[in-house]
Amino acid sequence: MSTPPSSARGALRKLRSGRNQKTNVCRLIHGAADGWAGLYIDRLADYLLVQSERPLTDAQQQTVQSLRSNLKSKGVYHKHLNRQIQNTSKSNASARLIMGLEAPEFFEATEHHLRYRLSFNEGYSTGLFLDMRENRHRLLSNLIEPGFPVFDRGVGAPKILNTFAYTCSLSVCAARAGAITTSLDLSQKYLEWGRENFHLNQLNPDDHDFIYGDTFDWIKRLAKRGEQYDLVILDPPTFSRSKISGLFRAKSDYGRLAKSASALVRKNGMLLACCNAATLSPAEFKADVRRGIRDGGRKIVQHFQAMQPKDFPVDQQEPAYLKAFWLRLN
């Protein structure tokens, strides 16, 4: 693992030790790069979620106990993982209580002072993908990196389209930064959850749009209507099957997704292209996205490649799986 600078190490220690007052959700142990191959532990507010490929060893149990006692966690849940780390956060296996108190069906977590609804009972995930924290913050602060704002026009509220929106956490951050958001997902349940996340952050969901539908279909419809956005977010699952648009595989189809989405980005607007398909290398992904944008007749005029956050360290055994490119298009 490459060693982060000491300020970043300090920030990571603060986050993981529970001394960061703004954020009470993070990854505490991220497999091999943290010295625990096959073990992943998240802090989710008052609870811990342990994910492992095998039953916990004594040493792992002790580590869990000591994290629990340091963070004064009320309860600990465990989830069995598929072998590949890249599939872990999207595992369908539901979590089982292994220590302490059961969590309520829904509970709240805080990230950058914003509130999100979480649950251990909703299968797919807990409601917030922790590895997207820094991208959420980029939206919230309207700053991708020094000198590179997300929204660069001075007049009017920016408009964003958040496709594959899940529980709309990226929309919440954009809305808190003053944007008018449209969140699009194939799951009515997740969009309802998203509306609840808006309420939790003093945002009226009725001031924003929530579209229950297929991204590929809706991109075409919105383009036909001539809609243009200051930012379009793409964060599809590795595979998606819909009755309307059929099968999408990130590995082979991301280019065409980027092409069709680029038609919705206004001049000098942004595309955020994300992918967590481990089988797609960052170089292949970048090439696919660039090709799609070029085929759509657009040019990239500014770009930034986001790294996995510090609490998701990488090493040779477990290279980065998350890819996130912020692209300004002419």
Ligand X SMILES: C[S@@+](CC[C@H](N)C(=O)[O-])C[C@H]1O[C@@H](n2cnc3c(N)ncnc32)[C@H](O)[C@@H]1O
Residue ranges in contact with ligand X by CB under 6 A = 129, 132, 164, 166-167, 169-170, 184-187, 190, 214-215, 235, 237, 240, 242
The burial class, CB within 10 Å (0-12 / 13-18 / 19+), for 296 is: buried
Minimal distance, residue 160 CB to ligand X, in Å: 12
Question: Minimum distance between the CB of residue 29 and ligand X, rounded to whole angstroms?
Answer: 22
Least Å from the CB of residue 170 to ligand X: 5
Q: Which is nearer to ligand X, 166 or 285 (CB)?
A: 166
Q: Which is nearer to ligand X, 257 or 293 (CB)?
A: 257
**Alpha-carbon gap, residue 67 to 247, rounded angstroms:** 42
Of 72 and 243, the one with the shorter C-beta distance to ligand X is 243
Q: How far is the CB of 328 from ligand X (least distance, A)?
A: 20
Distance of closest approach, residue 268 Cβ to ligand X, in angstroms: 23
> Of the two residues 107 and 248, which places its CB atom closer to ligand X in the complex?
248
Q: Which is nearer to ligand X, 64 or 248 (CB)?
A: 248
CB-nearer residue toward ligand X: 38 or 237? 237
239-268 b/e (C-beta count within 10 Å ≥ 16 → b) = ebeeeebeebebeebbbbbbbbbbbbbbee
CB of 131 to ligand X, least distance (A): 9
- For ligand X, give the closer residue by CB, 71 or 173: 173
How near is the Cβ of 129 to ligand X at its closest, in Å?
Answer: 5
Candidates 95, 50, 184, 132; CA nearest to 321 is 132
Report whether 158 contacts 295 (CB < 8 A): no
